Structure 1
């Protein structure tokens, strides 16, 4: 001992410093080895408590602003635009003139048809007068025929008795035949004049039909507003030519008049969420043009036909089926839209499809899936060994019999992760409702995602310190 002490005393100062540093390094390494051995097989985790809160299940969808009532005005005839009386953004009343087309030919056709109607009306008046005259003549001829017919009957009786001469008898016979011929002629004239009257009436009806047609063509050169609203789209200019729609081809688009008193958000909801959306549900709508503002709305219409997301076409139009993602149209009526809102603005809607108050809930990321076989294998291994089971799932690949999947969370009990199956309800923004399997206040593992993906049932765990959690997030 004295030799060692003497040796130490004879050492130079720098040698003593080096020797002390070496001893400290050896002690530090020993302590680190002991700590690492104690930590072996222990998984650092993030933890949280099972809580009670009010959850709201929300479906988010995007789309654009549309007026509930709008009219696209298309051309109904050929012609050149000669006058546009409105400007885009101008408010109009129902019946206000919006636009006029060149109307020279239609106006001439109306004038010609109107003159033809007047001529037919004059002809009808003449035919009616002729018929009345022929009917009067027929009545006179009929009366005269009745008188002469009576005289002829008396003359025949007198002639049989020999009271009149043959000459007078022949004169009465001739008079009778003449009266009968006159009466027949009057009847024919009545029939002829009646036919003339019918022809005149038909001609008048035809003339009026032509006038109606010409007036309709003329009317289609003047376009009026069908509703009270605002001109929201006006792509045409004076001097342009327009064409009407033919079969499946629409006519020239002239303008859109929209009633902006009732504004809607037309959004497309994913097919997996549409089953939760119902009429009357409340929604919060944001419009990109009005940042930091939220508008209340109500679901007023839900589409029943799926739309292919990539094309926007209805699946009913497709000849074959498709596996592409699909959406459904949902219309949300805004309660108090901004006064300066315009159709076509991009919008996002959050529809509240369900609300639960004071329910047991856990963070969404805490929920995980495990196979039944993995849980059973971990329990068997724990019962057969004193040490904790390994924390990696890779060491226990599932077999064909161990494919049943269980939904649950990991509870922290006695420093171990215990997988607990749960039954879930509605899903909030970051939390999910737990219907059974957990109680308020229980401690569960909430992260990290990598840990939850690989963590095994009954693995040893320790709760990370805040500094470790921040370092993990940075990685």
Structure 2
């Protein structure tokens, strides 16, 4: 019994020693009171923005009419390729032809009237010097002379009005001729009919494009496909022409189209809650057979690479906290109100030291670290609620493994 008692005692002492060693080396620090952490390291950072939109052709032309009338014939089908100048739609021309005939007759009548009045003007002006001579010789009374002067002036005005009437009727006839020519619609550009909205027998209506009958069809230049996305105002400042992009289309799962930004709008679009969105156009690249599957209006999502930094110091996103600056600091910088600053809590000799850090670009995991810390520094990363309330120089306990190692173990188990 004594031997067994000694074994139990020595076994208990050994177990206690193991527990003490575990506590000393952090084995028991993975409890609820311990903080998660990671070390400042080096790596690459790619800053991207994501936004949704739709697929568009390089050029989309709404085909409408400037003359009203019944649609007599539609010469194309939806999806048909057309060349510039191809016949698209014929609108009823009978009413326009009748109006043009009336305008031509009115022009001819006004020309004849203008000729008659022009002849009367010439006679009046030719006779006027003779009346002036008679008046000077005392052979014509002042009253008769004034009557002849009034007749001359009236003839001049009538001739001028007749010429204006001729010009007006001529312009009216040209307008009728132009309207008749526009009753036959032709393709203004080469492309594909991507939306045929009209039917034979319907009435084509000139005017505002959102009225039924105003837009007869849409012709799209399919030689270049684009994604037109809407980017939030907080991110559009980082978007520039020439940046690389990748676009996915909801209708074509699994396909990724490479692209580049070709246009960034300077004007905004108001949406719900008055959020400001800016249109950004991305030209799509890829195999011809893949691009030919795209249709204008398909839902698209783009990821744009805005900036990239290689082999730079980086710090986990959750390690960077925002602290409100003091009014004294703001005044020293010439500011009227305090501004925020970025800080990180560094583990030093069992305590958390608050350090101001300068950060650059970011991805979904890291900030680029431009100053404030050195490679290898241990920074606290969580829990976030405790981290925000943690004071400078407060004593802390760390978990045994850094976040990066725990992430690798988690990935290995999957």
**What is the TM-score normalised by the length of structure 1?**
0.61
Instruction: Quickly say closer, same or farther: Cα 1:216–1:371, change in 2 above 3 A.
Output: closer
- Which residue is equivalent to 1:396? none
1:54-453 equivalences in 2 (<5 Å): 54-124=44-114, 134=123, 197-198=159-160, 200-245=162-207, 252-274=214-236, 276-288=237-249, 289-290=251-252, 291-305=254-268, 307-308=270-271, 310=272, 324=273, 326-334=275-283, 336=285, 339-340=291-292, 341-368=294-321, 407-411=343-347, 416=350, 418-421=352-355, 422-444=357-379
Which secondary structure state, in structure 1, belongs to the residue aligned with residue 169 of structure 2? helix
Q: CA deviation at 1:348?
A: 2.1
Which secondary structure state, in structure 2, belongs to the residue aligned with residue 440 of structure 1? coil
Q: CA deviation at 1:334?
A: 1.2
Q: Which has the higher helix share?
A: 1
Is residue 241–residue 263 contact of structure 2 (8 Å, CA) maintained in 1? yes
Structure 1 residues not aligned, in runs of 5+: 6-19, 154-175, 311-323, 373-403
**What is the TM-score normalised by the length of structure 2?**
0.69
Find 2:398's aligned residue among 456, 461, 464: 461
Instruction: Quickly say closer, same or farther: Cα 1:217–1:462, change in 2 above 3 A.
Output: closer
Distance, in Å, in 2 between the alignment partners of 1:370 and 1:194 is: 88
Which piece of structure 1 moves more, 83-92 or 334-343? 334-343
Instruction: Quickly say closer, same or farther: Cα 1:419–1:92, change in 2 above 3 A.
Output: farther
Distance, in Å, in 2 between the alignment partners of 1:218 and 1:64 is: 38
Q: CA deviation at 1:361?
A: 0.7
RMSD (CA atoms):
5.0
- Which residue is equivalent to 1:397? none
Q: CA deviation at 1:120?
A: 3.6
Post-superposition CA distance 1:222-244 (Å, at most 9, x none)? 33333343332212211122334
- Which residue is equivalent to 1:384? none
Is residue 281–residue 352 contact of structure 1 (8 Å, CA) maintained in 2? no
Q: Which has the higher strand share?
A: 2
Which secondary structure state, in structure 2, belongs to the residue aligned with residue 273 of structure 1? helix
Q: CA deviation at 1:328?
A: 1.8
Equivalent residue pairs, number: 377
Instruction: Quickly say closer, same or farther: Cα 1:371–1:227, change in 2 above 3 A.
Output: closer
Which secondary structure state, in structure 2, belongs to the residue aligned with residue 426 of structure 1? strand
